[in-house]
Amino acid sequence: MCLAIPGRIESITDPAPATRRGRVDFGGVVKEIHLVFVPEAEVGDYVLAHVGCAISRIDEEVAVRTLAELSGDAP
Amino acid sequence: MKHLDEYRDADLVQRCAQRIADCVTRPWTLMEVCGGQTHAIVRHGLDELLPDGVRLVHGPGCPVCVTPTAILDKAHEIANRPEVIFCTFADMLRVPGTATDLFEVKARGGDVRIIHTPLDAIEIAEAAPDREVVLFAVGFETTAPANALCVVEARRRRLRNFSLLVSHVLVPPAMEAILRADDCRVQGFLAAGHVCSVMGVSEYRPLAARYRVPIVVTGFEPVDILHGILLCVRQLEQGRHEVENQYERAVRPDGNEAALQLVREVFTVTDRAWRGMGSIEHSGLSLAPAYRDLDALQRFGALTGPDDAPGECLSGEVLQGRRRPDECPAFGTRCTPDHPLGATMVSAEGACAAYYRYRPVPVGAESVDDAGAVRELGAVHDTGAPTGTSALRDTGEART
Ligand code: SF4
């Protein structure tokens, strides 16, 4: 039930803060997702969506850094 | 898919496994809290990549599994009423109560609707003003914001025919209940990343300090989980017990402010019974006083009956990491997804369902013990279930 999946915001369909929504692309499947909880997320950002609501914006910089650390030879 | 595929890379998985092997000098027992992590571990065979002595035990992080029988019985009673449209996630359909399940209620004519987002229930209620629409609001901290949004939306649209049957649970009190047990074997936790996306990490600090246990906030993909294990065993080897964040890309230390604000407005913390585990103090959410008129229990009567169904199901033991699902005598024989004795066999995040799906009892084995023996010999690998890293590159199914 806590499954959440990352998707890219394609467009904002309702910009009002209390009902903010947008179309989010999950690897080719586009769905309308509630964006009330990620007011900072804009078109092009990746968000983590859970039961139709984005619960977090994915921090690209951190993602790149984590992967680089893991791929590197540092212990 | 970006932000998924990178964390299923077979090379990276092997590197992480090697680093774990390089750093471990003693046996350690870790618990992954979330059922989603359990499924990833069993599905991809991640536990089989760990050095001898590093053991994963499965935790209570499946809200479907811990929904008490009394609430399920109430759900079935409400869903049976002719005026009601009962809205639920598909996961709850096969969870057995005392006498029936929602699937059967639906088959017998109950208007049970499967929703993908709680907000669907709002649309259904608006479109059917002459019916009573009830939302089965289950979940952990992760799901609470979506359900809170429904409550606010119902108010905004002045819906009079909408209510919620709330069975929300909170993760940190359950972790503490596990740590408090005299026979607790858990030495480190992989905390549930998506719960922390909402809640942040601060609630774990007192737990880590009081019980001297490392807690690593961890994601759900194979690389995430092995990375979480690496950080956790590294702390254990070094004698540290801190809160660390493996899932930094999606978890801010303070969580999601906007979501938390709404959850605190709509819900209030309450004691809650966990199926198989008993009542845990301050471990649930119920509607705040200002929203009690939307409580389905106010409309359809209070709970009666037992929190737990009597029977042979050992899900409480499974959910606290005391037993593996395949150590339950009923596993795969008297208890299967078609004839479940417990919720952990039917929930998409239930540990018993994960073992049944990915580590089934081989044909011809007399018992689970035989199955274990056969598996030890490496003879059970043509089940179609992915093991090891072979499946790491499969594409992510839509999992919202
Ligand atoms: S195998 Fe079935 S009976 Fe045994 S613990 Fe799991 S759900 Fe309960």
pTM: 0.89
Q: Is B315 in the pocket of ligand 1 (CB under 6 A)?
A: yes
**Residue B360 pLDDT:** 66
Q: Which of A34, A56, A60 has the CB atom closest to B197's CB atom?
A: A56
The tokens for B350 are: 């239930």
Contacts of B118 in chain A (CB under 8 A): 51-52
Question: Which tops the pLDDT comparison, A3 or B370?
Answer: A3
Please tell me if the CB atom of residue B325 comes closer than 6 angstroms to any atom of ligand 1.
yes
A6 and chain B: CB distance < 8 Å anywhere?
yes
Q: Which domains occur in chain A, in start order?
A: 5-71 (2.30.30.140)
Consecutive H or E run containing A13: strand A5-14
Number of H helices and number of E strands within chain A?
A: 1, 5
CA distance B324 to B177: 19
> Could you identify the residue written with the tokens 């350690």?
B28
Q: Which fold has domain B69-170+255-300?
A: Rossmann fold (3.40.50)
Instruction: Tell which atom from ligand 1 comes closest to the C-alpha of B332.
Output: 1
Mutate to test the pocket of ligand 1, among B95, B314, B323 (most ligand atoms within 8 A of CB): B314
H/E run at residue B134: strand B132-139
CA of B327 to the centre of ligand 1 (A): 9
Q: With an 8 Å Cβ cutoff, are B250 and A71 in contact?
A: no
Q: Which sign, positive or negative, has the C-alpha torsion B388, B390, B396, B399?
A: negative
* Residue B311, pLDDT score: 82
What pLDDT is attached to residue B125? 98
- Residue whose Cα lies nearest atom 6 of ligand 1: it is B352
Residue B305 has what pLDDT? 78
Q: What is the pLDDT of residues A18-61, one digit of tens each?
A: 999 999 999 999 999 999 999 999 999 999 999 999 999 999 99
All residue ranges of chain B with pLDDT < 70 are 360-400
DSSP labels, B283-308: EEEEE-GGGGGGBHHHHH----S-SS
Point out the residue among A37, A55, A66 whose CB comes nearest to the CB of B194. Answer: A55
B398/A contact by beta carbon, under 8 A:
yes
Rounded to a whole number, what is the distance in Å from the CA of A53 to chain B's nearest CA?
6
Residue B349 contacts A, CB cutoff 8 Å: yes
Model confidence pLDDT, tens digit, residues B212-261: 999 999 999 999 999 999 999 999 999 999 999 999 999 999 999 999 99
- Chain A residues within 8 A of B250 when measuring between CB atoms: 48, 56, 58-59
CB contact under 8 A, A55 and B400: no
Indicate the DSSP class of residue B328. Answer: S
